[in-house]
Amino acid sequence: MKNTRFKPQDAAELYGVPYWSSGYFRVNDEGKLEVDLPGGLSIVLEEVIEELVARGKSMPIILRFPQVLAERVKSLSEAFRKAIKEYDYQGKYQGVFPIKVNQRRVVVETIAKAGYSYHTGLEAGSKAELALCLAQNIHPEALLCCNGFKDDGFVSLALWGRKLGKNVVITLEKMSELDRVLRLSKELNVKPAVGVRFKLNAKGSGQWEESGGDNAKFGLNAAELLHVVERLREEDMLDALSMIHCHIGSQITDIRRIKVAVREATNVYANLVKAGVPVKYLNVGGGLGVDYDGSKTTFYASMNYTMAEYAADVVYTIQEVCQRMEVQEPIIVSESGRALTAHHSVLVIPVLDVTGPTVDQPFIPDRKEDQHQIVTDLEQLSENITVRNAREVYNDAVADKETMNNLFNLGYLSLHDRARGEALFNGIIRKIAKAVQDMKYVPDELEDLPRVLADKYVCNFSLFQSLPDNWAIDTLFPIIPIHRLDERPTREATLVDITCDSDGKIDKFIDLRDVKRTLPLHVPDGKPYYLGIFLAGAYQDVLGSGHNLFGKVNEAHVVADKEEGYRIELFVRGQKARRMIENMGYEEDDLRDSIEAQIETARKKGHFTQSEAKELGTTYTEELLGYTYLE
């Protein structure tokens, strides 16, 4: 007899771990998910969660792995170094991390530290971000790029940064910013370094394709760029123009689009150099993708190139144009945020409950003698279901269920009959799904059965706080149980969060060939069951909303150690209820005063004893200071 035992490697294939993990995650021989780090170090996720729970920490929790961040910085810088050496490129590479992708302290400080020797810089798109960036310890030659729209305060702070000895470059996003930079630099008596974001004709690919091209939000066109050059020449400040910056969008899926954009940007650079402008940096912007589904295609959740291929194509394309135009090869700059941060964190969420048509009903009404004929019809349909009649039975059952609902609404069907009819219908579609599961060709009507039959796994998290891109723009994130991966999952499920919103659900999942509508999961066994959501380290931390006043979740910073296995370097508690309430304009003292006044009024009316009044006050205070998620 053929051995059908489910093995950990089967789980790895089922959930696509080798394809999307970039080598940072794997299923071990015990059927548990672990993070793999350089030097043969690894951390079993379930062990970390169990330790945190033993310490009294509540779910959900983000596990952050600073070593993964550091490795991503190294990998990108080394990819460019290798390409530069291979092509004998005469310039060098300096990465820049746009902190809008993730401003969390551990992220920014880890990248700054890991990138110091590589001259990795930072990018700020607001005054607050610039204030944060100026305080970081980065290499003196590392760039601090100031992008986005600017007022006097933004520009002044950037110019003060140059006096501090920082390599600050102010990127002009619109024409009027030039006058502001020139005026304030004279007032502060500091020479600025200016960049110009050039509005490329080229566009990216994927969800952010429209952010590039002629209708892009930011950037100057060719005529405006030439006007900047002439204005700086008139001011005898032409050497202040040090950078040409371009950007064609985030998560670019097709490497060909990148090469077209880089070629266009390099031609702009080369023309300026030939005109006597001493441009030093060519900033190719962001867009380096993340392969969320592992398919290595141009699908919006994937990318058809590797980090090494990206670096090689950028270097080769710039060199080709510069050699043809006979100009010096520039320092290459890229602002790759998503690719650096996506892999470093895992959101771990516990399953609280399971509902759905495949879950055993606790109560099925008995058959009554005066049962309505429509219920009897459903009984008869359920008695003999085969592969041959599955399609016919399904169509009849759907029609009978619709009739049953209409009869109930008109008052011709009892609640008892409706309950029994619904149970019979659910049983029929379960039998049909089982009958057709091995068919080579599944009729169109039955293709959607897995989704119809999917259980709803209720999970302790808020989609709007932790995965806003999934809700807003259908970004796909790998989701997989972090344990029990040596057991065959027998349920098909969708996920729902604990918000009071019907949109708080995940019903699209990664797949190498398509988008799956359900996720294979295990039957709950009475023990904690944890799911991990991966590649969510970019943007999700900073875009989350406080729907239902669910706040930022607890997070643990975990470091692998040869002697200890791992250690939890830092635990950052998630937002308390009072913090979320205060964000809406309320004051904690006012809330307490109101509750205390109501308690006292109720006590005087005899609704409370003195001890009950005290207990309610204590409970209210504890909840204000408590975690916003279920504990």
Quick one: 276 and 314 in the same domain? Answer: yes
Quick one: 39 and 105 in the same domain? Answer: no
Alpha helices (H) in 87-221, listed in sequence order: 105-114, 127-134, 152-163, 176-188
Quick one: 52 and 121 in the same domain? Answer: no
DSSP string, 35-59: EEEGGGEEEEHHHHHHHHHHTTPPS
Residue 345, strand partner residues: 64
Enter the tokens of residue 353.
């409950």
Any long-range contacts for 124-127 (C-beta under 8 Å, 24+ apart)? Answer: 124/99, 124/148, 125/98, 125/100, 126/154, 127/151, 127/153, 127/154, 127/157
On whether residue 145 sits in a domain, the answer given is yes
Q: What is the CATH number of the domain that holds 122?
A: 3.20.20.10
Residue owning tokens 């209210």: 620
For residue 145, give the 3-state DSSP assignment. Answer: strand
On whether residue 364 sits in a domain, the answer given is no
The answer to whether 175 and 224 are in contact (CB under 8 A) is yes
Quick one: 289 and 222 in the same domain? Answer: yes
On whether residue 361 sits in a domain, the answer given is no
Enter the tokens of residue 433.
């799904």
> Cα–Cα distance between 479 and 466 in angstroms, integer?
13
On whether residue 559 sits in a domain, the answer given is yes
94: enclosing H helix or E strand? strand 93-98
> Which among 480, 619, 580 has a CA at the least distance from the CA of 10?
480
Quick one: 431 and 466 in the same domain? Answer: no
φ and ψ at residue 3, rounded to 5 degrees: -80, 115
Domain boundary among 426, 447, 468: 447
On whether residue 566 sits in a domain, the answer given is yes
Rg of the chain on CA atoms, in Å? 30
Per the annotation, does 290 bind a ligand?
A: yes
The answer to whether 464 and 552 are in contact (CB under 8 A) is no
> Which among 247, 255, 246 has a CA at the least distance from the CA of 302?
255
Per the annotation, does 16 bind a ligand?
A: no
Quick one: 174 and 302 in the same domain? Answer: yes
Per the annotation, does 48 bind a ligand?
A: no
> Cα–Cα distance between 68 and 618 in angstroms, integer?
43
Quick one: 567 and 590 in the same domain? Answer: no
Per the annotation, does 287 bind a ligand?
A: yes
pTM, two decimals, is 0.89
Quick one: 532 and 604 in the same domain? Answer: no
> Cα–Cα distance between 116 and 202 in angstroms, integer?
33
Query: What does pLDDT average to in each consecutive run of 10 residues of the chain (631 residues)?
Result: 75 96 96 92 96 95 96 97 97 96 94 97 95 95 95 95 95 93 95 95 68 68 94 95 93 95 96 96 95 94 95 97 97 96 97 79 76 92 86 90 94 93 88 78 76 88 94 94 96 92 92 91 94 96 88 94 90 90 87 86 85 86 88 84
Residue ranges making up the domain that contains 132: 66-338
Domain boundary among 411, 429, 447: 447
> Which among 124, 214, 241, 221 has a CA at the least distance from the CA of 175?
221
On whether residue 57 sits in a domain, the answer given is yes
Which residue type, as a one-letter code, is found at position 251? Q
> Cα–Cα distance between 32 and 530 in angstroms, integer?
11
Maximal C-alpha separation, the chain:
99
- What Cα–Cα distance (Å) separates residue 50 from each residue in 433, 487, 529, 534? 37, 20, 11, 19
Q: Is 500 a catalytic residue?
A: yes
> Cα–Cα distance between 27 and 13 in angstroms, integer?
10
Q: What is the CATH number of the domain that holds 511?
A: 2.40.37.10
For the chain, what is the domain count? 4
> Cα–Cα distance between 446 and 387 in angstroms, integer?
12
Per the annotation, does 284 bind a ligand?
A: yes
> Cα–Cα distance between 577 and 622 in angstroms, integer?
10
First to last CA, the chain: 47
Q: How many other CB atoms are there within 10 angstroms of residue 610's CB atom?
A: 8
Per the annotation, does 285 bind a ligand?
A: yes
Predicted confidence at residue 429, as pLDDT, reads 84
Domain boundary among 558, 575, 592: 575
Quick one: 143 and 281 in the same domain? Answer: yes
Active-site choice (133, 246, 322, 500): 500
Enter the tokens of residue 334.
């890229």
Predicted confidence at residue 562, as pLDDT, reads 87
φ and ψ at residue 547, rounded to 5 degrees: -55, 130
In angstroms, how far is CA 31 from the centroid of its own chain?
25
> Cα–Cα distance between 286 and 212 in angstroms, integer?
12
Residue owning tokens 């990127």: 171
Per the annotation, does 289 bind a ligand?
A: yes
Quick one: 142 and 192 in the same domain? Answer: yes
Quick one: 81 and 175 in the same domain? Answer: yes
236: enclosing H helix or E strand? none
| 597 CB burial (10 A radius; 0-12, 13-18, 19+) | exposed
The answer to whether 143 and 282 are in contact (CB under 8 A) is no
Per the annotation, does 288 bind a ligand?
A: yes
On whether residue 363 sits in a domain, the answer given is no
On whether residue 365 sits in a domain, the answer given is no
Per the annotation, does 565 bind a ligand?
A: no
Which residue type, as a one-letter code, is found at position 217? K
Quick one: 208 and 293 in the same domain? Answer: yes
